[in-house]
Amino acid sequence: MTTRLTPEQIAEIKSEMIASGPPVRFQVAGQTVDICTGQLQPRGINVIHQIHYWRFTKDTALKIARWLGASPVFSESGELR
């Protein structure tokens, strides 16, 4: 399984983007992943420095996580902690 989306998957999720959604980050083995490049951020960095995505519905975020073999981490309040 890869930690980056294919161009076709990116096109699909772009068509599903909304004006505003709960912040979500995708984690693989405890590291936040950039869904377009597949780059993993260092384990244990402060959440404020981790990549967050804001324009996905929960269903779209869950689909992305499934494709990447990642865990979606949502911030329900809309604020980074």
Residue 81 lies in a domain: no
Find residue 72's DSSP bridge partners: 26
Query: Is 27 within a domain?
Result: yes
Could you report the per-residue pLDDT of 21-66, keeping only the tens digit for each?
899 999 999 999 999 999 999 999 999 999 999 999 999 999 999 9
Query: Does residue 2 lie in a domain region?
Result: no
Whether residue 25 lies inside any domain: the answer is yes
Q: What is the pLDDT at residue 72?
A: 97
Within a domain: 28: yes
Query: Tokens 């689909």 identify what position?
Result: 63
Task: Tell me, yes or no, whether 79 lies in a domain.
Answer: no
Boundaries of domain holding 68: 7-74
pLDDT band at 81 (very low <50, low <70, confident <90, very high): very low
Count of the separate structural domains present in the chain: 1
Stated pTM of the model: 0.87
